[in-house]
């Protein structure tokens, strides 16, 4: 009996696994056509300085699947990486962000805003990454200093010299770099020091624990202090409450991003919020 039960359990799991695999394959197939079918959209989440002025936005990709509806990047980015589709998707992201910057050049409140794009490890590791970004910037003709590239700690495991060289070339164009999800990876201080980052982004997990009741802001404080001492701009992500914002200000953070201040929204909504009459 136990054996039979065990077997049926194995069966159950393998069917489940098959289903999972199938839906993954279907998703990957759909992902192949998503760019040409115009199913992606960039949402923008505002980032504010200590005075509450918008300083920039983070571009966050959204996939509107024709039948499944909105699919989270947490779900499809890993798949896009596995299938190498992330290279063309990432290209689309940078191009779309630059076109947006271009449009905002004539807007009164967003013309100085930066756009941060998330670049995946595979995309960044392409030999032609620098030239392709350069080509996009030249073609669209936007101030490169308003484009910021977010890299995560976990992708800095590759050869430091190569990464530093590539970052250096892009920085020469004027592009800025932010270290996303900081504190969740393994990068050492010396590592950080050797890479030309402009900004350090404190991961949400360090922000989540902050409340006025539990005053344990020591980790956030230490990270912010370390970032500042390395000469980096420090931004906190995942700010969900006034109390967190207050504590992060006390920690010395320069910029703030999170649901409390603004959700990621379609460009029209962002423009409505920061239109002239807002000021
Ligand atoms: P991330 O770059 O760390 O982006 C921050 C995530 O936190 C976003 O999730 C954002 O919507 C969410 N978030 C913002 N404020 C808050 C808050 O106050 N509370 C909470 N709980 N969450 C908040 P999203 O948009 O689902 O993106 C998830 C991840 O997917 C991103 O993490 C990034 O790693 C990846 N991703 C998004 N867009 C792109 C893209 O265009 N290219 C690549 N390669 N990856 C992307
Ligand atoms: Mg990010
Ligand atoms: Mg992040
Ligand atoms: Mg994250």
Name residues contacting ligand 1 (CB within 6 A). 45, 60-61, 72-74, 77, 90, 93, 118, 120, 180-181, 204, 237-240, 258-259, 264
Specify whether the CB–CB gap between 202 and 236 falls below 8 A. Answer: yes
Mean pLDDT of 142-147: 96
Question: Separation of 237 CA from ligand 2 center, angstroms?
Answer: 9
Do 260 and 246 touch, CB atoms closer than 8 A? no
How many other β-carbons are positioned within 10 Å of the β-carbon of residue 91?
A: 18
Provide the CB-side half-sphere exposure for 196 (13 A, CA). 16
Q: Tens digits of per-residue pLDDT, 252-270?
A: 999 999 999 999 999 999 9
**Residue 155 above 90 pLDDT?**
no
Q: How far is CA 209 from the centre of its chain?
A: 21
- Has residue 191 got a pLDDT over 80? no
SS3 category, 216? coil
pTM for the structure as a whole: 0.92
Close Cβ partners of 125 (under 8 Å, ≥ 6 residues apart): 158
Distance (angstroms) between ligand 2 centre and the Cα of 2 equals 49
Question: For residue 227, how far is its CA from the centre of ligand 2 (angstroms)?
Answer: 17
- For residue 8, name the pLDDT band (cuts at 50, 70, 90): low
Say which ligand is closest to the CA of 257: 1
User: Looking at ligand 1, which atom is closest to the CA of residue 117?
Assistant: 41
Q: Which long-range contacts (CB under 8 A, 24 or more apart) does 35-40 make?
A: 35/88, 35/89, 35/92, 37/66, 39/63, 39/64, 39/65, 39/66, 40/64, 40/89, 40/92, 40/96
pLDDT of residue 279 exceeding 50: no
Nearest ligand by distance to the CA of 202: 3
Categorize the per-residue pLDDT at 9 as very low, low, confident or very high, splitting at 50, 70 and 90.
low
pLDDT, tens digit, 9 for 90 and up, residues 169-179: 999 999 999 99
Mean pLDDT of 176-197: 85
Ion ligand 4 neighbours (CB, 5 A) are 181
| Torsions phi, psi for 88 (to 5 deg) | -75, -35
- The number of the ligand nearest the C-alpha atom of 150 reads 2
Tokens linked to 93: 């992201």
CB 102 within 8 A of CB 142: yes
* pLDDT at residue 20, rounded to an integer: 83
Ligand 3: distance of its center to the CA of 268 in Å? 23
pLDDT one-digit tens code per residue, 20-58:
888 888 889 999 999 889 999 999 999 999 999 999 999
pLDDT tens by residue, 124-136 = 999 999 999 999 9
Q: Return the half-sphere exposure (C-beta side, CA atoms, 13 A cut-off) of residue 70.
A: 6
Segments of the chain assigned E as strands? 40-49, 54-65, 69-71, 114-118, 147-152, 176-182, 199-202, 233-236, 255-256
- Apex 40 CA angle, 39 and 43, nearest 5: 140
Instruction: Tell me if ipTM is over 0.85.
Output: yes
Closest by CA position to 192, among listed 153, 155, 221: 153
How much distance in Å is there from the Cα of 217 to the middle of ligand 2? 22
């Amino acid at each position: 009996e136990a054996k039979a039960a065990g077997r049926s359990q194995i069966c159950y799991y393998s069917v489940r696994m098959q289903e999972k695999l199938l839906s993954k394959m279907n998703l990957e197939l759909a992902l192949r056509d998503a760019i040409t079918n115009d199913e992606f959209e960039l949402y923008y989440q505002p980032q504010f300085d200590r005075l509450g002025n918008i300083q920039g936005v983070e571009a966050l990709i959204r996939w509107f699947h024709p039948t499944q509806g909105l699919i989270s990047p947490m779900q499809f980015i890993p798949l896009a990486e596995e299938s190498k589709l992330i290279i063309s998707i990432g290209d689309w992201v940078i191009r779309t962000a630059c076109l947006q910057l271009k449009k905002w050049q004539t807007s009164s409140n967003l013309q100085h805003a930066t756009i941060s794009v998330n670049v995946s490890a595979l995309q960044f590791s392409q030999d032609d990454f620098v030239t392709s970004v350069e080509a996009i910037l030249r073609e669209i003709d936007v101030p490169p200093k308003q484009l910021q590239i977010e890299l995560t700690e976990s992708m800095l495991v590759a050869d430091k010299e190569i990464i530093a060289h590539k970052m250096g070339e892009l920085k020469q164009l004027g592009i800025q770099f932010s270290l996303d999800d900081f504190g969740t990876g393994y990068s050492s201080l010396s590592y950080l020091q050797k890479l030309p980052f402009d900004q350090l982004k404190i991961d949400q997990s360090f922000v989540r624990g902050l409340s006025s009741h539990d005053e344990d802001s020591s980790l956030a404080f230490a990270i912010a202090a370390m970032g500042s001492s390395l000469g980096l701009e420090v931004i906190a992500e995942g700010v969900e409450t006034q109390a967190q914002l207050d504590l992060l200000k006390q920690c010395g953070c320069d910029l703030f991003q999170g649901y409390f201040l603004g959700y990621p929204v379609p460009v029209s909504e962002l423009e409505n919020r920061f239109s002239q009459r807002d000021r």
